[in-house]
Amino acid sequence: MNEPEQRSAGGYRLEEDGRGGVTLHLEGPIGVSDSAGLIKRLDRSLTPQAGGTVAVDLGRVTYLDDYGVLLLSEIKMSTLQKKADFYLQNISHEISKTLSMYNFDTLGRSESFRKPKRANVLTRLGEATMRQAAEAKYMISFLGSVCFALLHVCLHPRSLRRDETYTCMQKTGVDALPIVGMISFLMGLIMAFMSSVQLQQFGANIYVASLVSLAMTRELGPIMTAIIVAGRSGSAFAAEIGTMKISEEVDALFTMGFDPTRFLVTPKIIASVIVVPLLTIFSDIFAIMGGLIVGVFTLDLTANAYIAQTIKTLDLFDVLLGFCKSAVFAVLIAWIGCLRGFRVRGGAASVGEATTSAVVSGIFLIILFNSIFSVILRYWE
Partner 1 sequence: MERQPVIEVKNLVARYEEETIFDRISFKVYEGEIFVVLGGSGCGKSTLLKHLIGLIPPASGRIRVAGCDISRAGEECFDDLLQRIGVLYQSGALLGSMTLAENVALPIQEYTELPKDSVNRLVKMKLTLMNLGDYADYLPSQISGGMKKRAGLARAMALNPEILFFDEPSAGLDPVTAAELDNLIIHLNETFGTTMVIVTHELESIFTVAHRIIMLDKRTKRIIAEGDPRYLRDHSQNRFVKQFFNRLAGDTMHPPAQEA
Residue 66 in contact with partner 1, rule: CB under 8 A: yes
Residue 37 in contact with partner 1, rule: CB under 8 A: yes
**H or E element at residue 107:** none
Q: What is the nearest approach in angstroms of partner 1 to the Cβ of residue 174?
A: 29
Rank residues 40 and 60 by Cβ distance to partner 1 and give the closer one.
40
Q: How far apart are CA 21 and CA 255, in angstroms?
A: 70
Stretch 321-350 residues interacting with partner 1 (CB under 8 A): 345-350
Residue 356 in contact with partner 1, rule: CB under 8 A: no
Look up residue 107 and give its amino acid. Answer: L
Residue 126 in contact with partner 1, rule: CB under 8 A: no
Residue 105 in contact with partner 1, rule: CB under 8 A: no
Q: What is the nearest approach in angstroms of partner 1 to the Cβ of residue 365?
A: 28
Piece in contact with partner 1 (CB under 8 A), picked from 20-28, 108-116, 171-179, 359-367: 108-116
Residue 97 in contact with partner 1, rule: CB under 8 A: yes
Q: Count the neighbouring beta carbons within 10 Å of the beta carbon of residue 158.
A: 6
Q: How far apart are CA 172 and CA 210, in angstroms?
A: 30
Rank residues 116 and 203 by Cβ distance to partner 1 and give the closer one.
116
Q: ∠293-296-298 over CA atoms, to 5°?
A: 95
Residue 104, C-beta contacts closer than 8 angstroms, at least 6 positions apart: 69, 72, 73
The answer to whether 327 and 273 have CB atoms below 8 angstroms apart is: yes
Piece in contact with partner 1 (CB under 8 A), picked from 33-41, 81-89, 160-168, 354-362: 33-41
- On the CB side of 114, how many CA atoms lie within 13 Å of its CA? 4
Residue 32 in contact with partner 1, rule: CB under 8 A: yes
Piece in contact with partner 1 (CB under 8 A), picked from 61-69, 119-127, 216-224, 319-327: 61-69
Residue 75 in contact with partner 1, rule: CB under 8 A: no
Rank residues 14 and 70 by Cβ distance to partner 1 and give the closer one.
70
Q: How far apart are CA 365 and CA 227, in angstroms?
A: 10
Look up residue 181 and give its amino acid. Answer: G
Piece in contact with partner 1 (CB under 8 A), picked from 27-35, 156-164, 223-231, 293-301: 27-35
Q: 5 pairs with which residues across the strands? A: 16
Residue 85 in contact with partner 1, rule: CB under 8 A: no
The answer to whether 277 and 326 have CB atoms below 8 angstroms apart is: yes
Residue 145 phi, psi dihedral angles, 5° rounding: -70, -30
Rank residues 199 and 344 by Cβ distance to partner 1 and give the closer one.
344
Helix axes 32-45, 66-81, angle to 10 degrees: 10
Q: How far apart are CA 136 and CA 51, in angstroms?
A: 64
Which DSSP category does 336 fall into? H
Piece in contact with partner 1 (CB under 8 A), picked from 37-45, 142-150, 284-292, 328-336: 37-45
Rank residues 65 and 85 by Cβ distance to partner 1 and give the closer one.
65
Residue 316 in contact with partner 1, rule: CB under 8 A: no
Residue 9, C-beta contacts closer than 8 angstroms, at least 6 positions apart: 41, 45
Residue 96 in contact with partner 1, rule: CB under 8 A: no
**H or E element at residue 371:** helix 348-380
| CA distances from residue 366 to 36, 129, 201, 278, 324 in whole angstroms, order as listed | 57, 25, 36, 17, 13
Rank residues 33 and 201 by Cβ distance to partner 1 and give the closer one.
33
Rank residues 179 and 348 by Cβ distance to partner 1 and give the closer one.
348
Residue 102 in contact with partner 1, rule: CB under 8 A: yes
Piece in contact with partner 1 (CB under 8 A), picked from 44-52, 91-99, 261-269, 278-286: 91-99
Chain residues that interact with partner 1, rule: CB under 8 A: 31-32, 35-37, 39-40, 65-67, 69-70, 73-74, 94, 97-98, 101-103, 107-108, 112-114, 116, 345-350
